[in-house]
Amino acid sequence: MGKSAAMSSATATPESWPWPPAMRASAAWHVAAIGAGVLVPGAWPWAIGAIVLNHALITGAGLTPRSNLLGPNVTRLPEAAAARREVAITIDDGPEPEVTPRVLDLLDAHGQRATFFCIAERVLAHPELAREIVARGHSIQNHTAQHRHNFSFLGPRGFASEIARAQDILAEATGQRPTCFRAPAGLRNPFLEPVLHRLGLSLVSWTRRGFDTREGDPAKVMARLARHLQARDILLLHDGNAARTAEGKPVLLEVLPLLLERLRADGLRAVTLPEGLKS
């Protein structure tokens, strides 16, 4: 535990969190509304309405996975990746012993790389599989310790506990400390970004997703991923919690060969996020 704690403190970011413009505007809005309520006779109903509207907008941003109103949010690889013809395939919710080894074989057969946003407690249950992911040239990043369904309702302490614990588990299992984080379902609230900043993590969402946790038709999943597919895209799929085809097969295993062949035909190269995010 002492080693893990030391690793955590060594990677913590000491600088104060740079408030995003939307959050600074929200704070100013609150001050102005309260000031109007105090100083202007009869203004309290309007002031309360303004505060409620502000909270609704902030909540809406947290429920929009690709929004950057609450802080930095990577939805595409940087411009430099376009010249390199790179995309990022990201695979969430594993490792899953029934699915992940077959995914690794498919990626190897096509000479492509992926990023696995792993649930840390699943890594604890299958550490050898996590090590194999890394040994075969892929990247493991932070997808929380437990993948809690109420994650977006947590406060600063809850976020810090869940994410820092995952950091330590993943670093100990793989020898590599994650630099990227993805929230469960992409949902969050304003308390998340300061925690990520302190832990030295970048929030990463996606350019498009296949909805493969609920869609069992490989053609429909592939159509969503391939629509306007181009360099710099970040694509989201799942090895854990994958929907099943009509034949009972995890849909990812049907979609991935189609996607990898499409990348080859378009002259695109799938790289890990740490590689693709290089400027």
51 and 148 share one domain: no
238 and 103 share one domain: yes
Asked whether residue 72 is assigned to any structural domain, the reply reads no
In this prediction, residue 58 carries a pLDDT of 53
pLDDT by residue (tens digit) across 134-183? 999 999 999 999 999 999 999 999 999 999 999 999 999 999 999 999 99
| Identified catalytic residue from 138, 147, 197, 238 | 238
- Provide the domain count of the chain: 2
177 and 118 share one domain: yes
49 and 127 share one domain: no
15 and 152 share one domain: no
32 and 131 share one domain: no
> Which residues make Cβ contacts (< 8 Å) with residue 108, sequence separation at least 6?
136
pLDDT by residue (tens digit) across 217-272? 999 999 999 999 999 999 999 999 999 999 999 999 999 999 999 999 999 999 99
| Phi, psi values for residue 208, rounded to 5° | -155, 160
Asked whether residue 151 is assigned to any structural domain, the reply reads yes
List beta partners, residue 139: 115
54 and 105 share one domain: no
E strand spans, 167-265: 180-181, 202-203, 208-209, 234-238
> Which residues make Cβ contacts (< 8 Å) with residue 240, sequence separation at least 6?
92, 93, 94, 95, 96, 99, 119, 122
| Identified catalytic residue from 92, 93, 168, 233 | 92
Asked whether residue 74 is assigned to any structural domain, the reply reads no
Asked whether residue 99 is assigned to any structural domain, the reply reads yes
Asked whether residue 154 is assigned to any structural domain, the reply reads yes
pLDDT at 9 over 80: no
| Secondary structure letter of residue 141 according to DSSP | E
pLDDT by residue (tens digit) across 43-78? 677 656 655 665 556 566 667 899 998 999 999 999
48 and 86 share one domain: no
Question: Per the structure block, which two tokens stand in for 216?
Answer: 């069992």
**Annotated catalytic, 92?**
yes
109 and 9 share one domain: no
57 and 148 share one domain: no
The domain in which residue 198 lies consists of: 79-276
| Secondary structure letter of residue 74 according to DSSP | B
Asked whether residue 70 is assigned to any structural domain, the reply reads no
Which CATH number is 84's domain given?
3.20.20.370
**Annotated catalytic, 149?**
no
Interatomic CA distance for residues 100 and 193, integer angstroms: 30
Domain boundary residue among 17, 36, 62? 62
pLDDT by residue (tens digit) across 12-55? 444 566 766 665 655 655 555 576 566 777 767 765 665 566 55
121 and 222 share one domain: yes
For residues 141, 147, 148, 150, the Cα torsion angle rounded to the nearest 10 degrees is 60
23 and 155 share one domain: no
Asked whether residue 71 is assigned to any structural domain, the reply reads no
Interatomic CA distance for residues 117 and 183, integer angstroms: 10
Asked whether residue 67 is assigned to any structural domain, the reply reads no
